Structure 1
Amino acid sequence: MHFELGEEVRVFDGYDDDRGHYEQRGDDLDSTVQEIAGQYFGFQDDLLDAIVEQDDCWPPDGDEPFLDRNFNYTPRPISVASYYERWEALREELRTRRRYFSAEASSFFSEIFSDIELLVAHSEGREESVVKNCAPGFEIYRGRLCNSDSVAGAIVASPFKEVGPPPSEVARSGRMNAEGISVLYASSDLHTCVAELRPSIGSRVAVITLVTTKQLRLVDFRALESSRKPGAISYFQDDFSEILERSAFIRGLHRVISTPVIPGREHEYLVTQLMAEYLGHVRKPAFDGIIFESVQKRGGANIVLFRGASDFPVSYRDNSVSFYSVSAMQYTHTKEAYFEKSDGSILFHFEGYDDLEW
């Protein structure tokens, strides 16, 4: 059942009404049936009578009817908790029990990304695919901190070797790769590239421009937030709730993978590392990389390219190496919680979460 009885709420009529009265939220049975069916029938009254008669209710035994013309109904809220629970369980399995050939990981990612090519995002009245096809010649930026003259000299002598993708033997663990697995982290623009290095004041940064050398298929996680599969779904589908829950989880996946990880908790990367391996090597057809929003610069984008059979599909743009000195930084903050003291207890209010009493 995709609807439930509307909640009874107290309503006050003006300032002089200190008692109020109760009203039920939602739409009446007639309107609810029209919403489900998607149309109005000329025999609507007969249809409603037939629906009410189908209610398996026997008042002499104390049963209360669910279907009644005098009741209002609201859609049942969907919950993506089961998907987040599976995400957390998978992370725990990867951290403490097994890392490779996880049956749960294969099942989970196959379900989530089964039809990602069909998803479209809505932006400014337009529809665009979640999968981006980037033509050869697409420019991206890659940077490196260089706080010594010797490092700067090595970069000038060999920019691509020193600032380009790291060889496997020195590849450190990151958001989208395990230690020893080389992926190319880059940015969509110069300013994002510098910000992603998280330099301190006075640091020197070297940035190079890379150019893609072939057609690439990238999953744009930014577009997932407003994505949906074309075509209507019906309340009469057996998997109606499952479709809505999966869609809601997919739309929130961008926030999950782009959230900063606190130093010392790098194990939080385990699931995103496995996800990247799935998208780049296990899934058929595989993808060449992903795009997600930068948390260091608003409006900027990070691009991660997976290594191909031989190397990365990029080349160095001649004479593109530049050096920058960091002279200032700007920080913004968001109030996460506030608290109230009442009757000896403390009630914490967290943005986006349920209140917690302490």
Structure 2
Amino acid sequence: MISIINADDRVGTCDFCETENTSIYLARELPDQFRAILSLYIPDENSNTSLIESLQKDFGLFTENVRIPSNLLKSIFQDEEQSLMKLLETNVSFQNKELLEAESDNLNDVWDNFKEEIKFVNRYHIQNTINLDKLKTYFLHESFYKEIKKGRIFFRCRVSDKNGFPCEKMGNPPIELASSGRANPKGISYLYVADSLETSMYETRASLFDYVTVGEFKLTDDIKILNLRNPKDDPIYWSEFEEIENYLIYIPFIQTLQKELSLPIRKRDKLLDYIPTQYISEFIKSLGFDGVEYQSSLNSEGYNIAIFNPKKLECFKSNVYEIKDIKLTHEIVK
């Protein structure tokens, strides 16, 4: 929505928040962005919630700046059919909400069943598979992929001695040494890189006074990455594409996938635990992506990328660091 308004090059005073000298846009030109969201609601005399209150609660819309959001919605839909305008004049209920939530919960149940089967029952001919066709539709949508241009710098860290490793030792391991990871099966070598020096050090989990070598990698070609870290979960965006119901069903599931890819590898982990996310990563690779981006679980400000084709990055510099301080936080789990 911000990009739509800013792209119009009109500047003035907003009629709804009274901000001066800001980008403005005619409200009546925006119904396509909201129509599918409003179609989720029906008038309900037994409800005690207005449309505005429902939009604020269910989607986080109109929670800041807009002083009288009902006036804004009326302006957006002033040229539309009266049925939509009537929603603003009565209390509403979210039709099919329980059904959509049930479908979303069922999708996570399917994922749990899939994980159990692929780990303990069937490895290659799976019965409880997830709907890959539907997942493909989402992953290939522009909200989930991003292009990273040639020349971008990423980082990889390895525990070393004081002499460190040269650049040629900082890449992905040879296939005979490639152990199982969250994204790669054993024997298939990916390059895991981080967005920053700090994130790469966190991911290595070096101990106090350890020496680490950090390699800096430069992209030698443009790459297309599946962005599981922060896909566009803006309901207005999905409403415009008339995908709002699927958004409500699939976004929680995709967030689950991202969390599982982000889980730190622990010493007590079993290799079987990685198989479900390896399967998803192989599927992502089959769609033509060069890698998958996911949140770092060890540095909340950072992220990692599993690169499927390491030849698209070149290590051009390596430096040795000594770990001088480690900050630990903790919470009781039992």
- Shorter-normalised TM range: 0.5 to 0.7
Establish whether residue 187 from structure 1 lines up as the match of residue 207 from structure 2. no
Q: Is the contact between residue 113 and residue 128 of structure 2 (CA under 8 Å) also seen in structure 1? A: no
Higher relative contact order (CA 8 A, sep 6+): 2
What pairs with 1:112-123 in structure 2 (closer than 5 Å)?
112-120=135-143
1:91 to partner: Cα distance: 0.9
SS at match of 1:302: strand
| Residue 180 of structure 2 corresponds to residue 173 of structure 1 | yes
Residue 139 (1) aligns with residue 163 (2): no
Cα distance in structure 2, aligned partners of 1:242 and 1:207:
42
Partner of 2:240: 232
Q: Structure 2 length as normaliser, TM-score?
A: 0.67
Partner of 2:264: 260
State the shift of 1:335 in Å.
Answer: 6.8
The CA distance in 2 between the partners of 1:140 and 1:71, in whole Å, is 52
Cα distance between partner residues in 1 of 2:312 and 2:324 = 34
Provide closer, same or farther for how the CA distance between residues 71 and 244 of structure 1 changes in structure 2, counting only shifts above 3 A.
closer
**Distance 1:276-1:233 versus aligned 2 partners, 3 A rule:** closer
The 1:261/1:85 distance shift into structure 2, 3 A limit, reads farther
Verify: 1:199 aligned to 2:206, yes or no: yes
- The 3 A distance-change label for structure 1 pair 249 and 195 is same
**Which secondary structure state, in structure 1, belongs to the residue aligned with residue 198 of structure 2?**
helix
Please tell me the residue identity of whatever aligns with 2:322.
S
Q: Which runs of 5 or more structure 2 residues have no equivalent in the other structure?
A: 1-38, 56-72
1:272 aligns with 2:277: yes
Aligned partner of 2:146: which letter? Answer: K
1:346 aligned partner: none
Match of 1:313 in 2: 312
Q: In 1, Cα distance between the equivalents of 2:171 and 2:327?
A: 27
Deviation at 1:96, TM superposition (A): 0.9
Cα pair distance change 1:200/1:73, threshold 3 Å: same
Counterpart amino acid of residue 149 in structure 2: A
Distance 1:240-1:225 versus aligned 2 partners, 3 A rule: closer
For the 8 Å contact 1:224–1:251, the answer to whether it is kept is no
Give the direction of change, closer, same or farther, for the CA distance of 1:27–1:275 in structure 2 (3 Å limit). Answer: same
Alpha carbons of structure 1 residues 3 and 209: separation in structure 2 relative to 1, 3 Å: same
TM-aligned CA distance change 1:119 to 1:248, over 3 Å:
farther
- Aligned counterpart, 1:296: 298
2:105 counterpart residue number: 81
The structure where strand makes up a greater share of residues is 1
Q: Distance in 2 between matches of 1:336 and 1:227?
A: 33
Residue 225 of structure 2: aligned partner: 218
Instruction: Could you tell me which runs of 5 or more consecutive residues in structure 1 were left unpaired when the two chains were aligned.
Output: 9-23, 46-69, 121-129, 338-358
Aligned length: 266
Larger radius of gyration: 1
1:138–1:212 Cα contact (<8 Å) kept: yes
Shift of 1:82: 1.1
Does residue 323 in structure 1 map to residue 320 in structure 2? yes
Is contact 2:179-2:187 (8 Å) kept? Answer: yes
Q: Cα RMSD over matched residues?
A: 3.8
2:118 to 94, 107, 112: 94
Amino acid at match of 1:304: A
Change in Cα spacing, 1:170 to 1:265, as seen in structure 2 (3 Å) is same
The 3 A distance-change label for structure 1 pair 136 and 240 is closer
With structure 1 as the length reference, what TM-score do the two structures score?
0.63
Q: CA deviation at 1:316?
A: 2.1
**Structure with the largest fraction of helix:** 2
Q: Does the Cα contact within 8 Å between 2:195 and 2:303 map onto a contact in 1?
A: yes
The answer as to whether partners of 2:238 and 2:244 remain within 8 angstroms in 1 is: no
- Deviations 1:18-47, CA, capped at 9 Å, x for gaps: xxxxxx53359xx99xx9xx75638x99xx
Instruction: Trace 1:14-29 onto structure 2 (pairs within 5 A).
Output: 25-27=48-50
The one-letter code matched in structure 2 to 1:83 is: L
Q: Structure 2 counterpart of 1:167, which letter?
A: P
For residues 235-269 of structure 1, what are the alpha-carbon distances to aligned partners after superposition, in whole Å with 9 as ceiling and x for unaligned?
A: xxxx9744521234234542332233554333332
SS in 2 for 1:118: coil
Q: How far apart are 1:327 and its partner, in Å?
A: 1.3
Percent identity reads 21
User: Which range moved further: 198-207 or 89-98?
Assistant: 89-98
How many Å separate the matches in 2 of 1:277 and 1:233? Answer: 28
How big is the shift at 1:167? 0.5
Q: 1:202 to 1:115 in 2, by over 3 A?
A: same
How far has the Cα of 1:144 moved from its partner? Answer: 0.9
Q: Give the Cα separation in 2 of the matches to 1:176 and 1:324.
A: 27
* Separation in structure 2 between the aligned mates of residue 169 and residue 83 of structure 1, nearest angstrom: 36
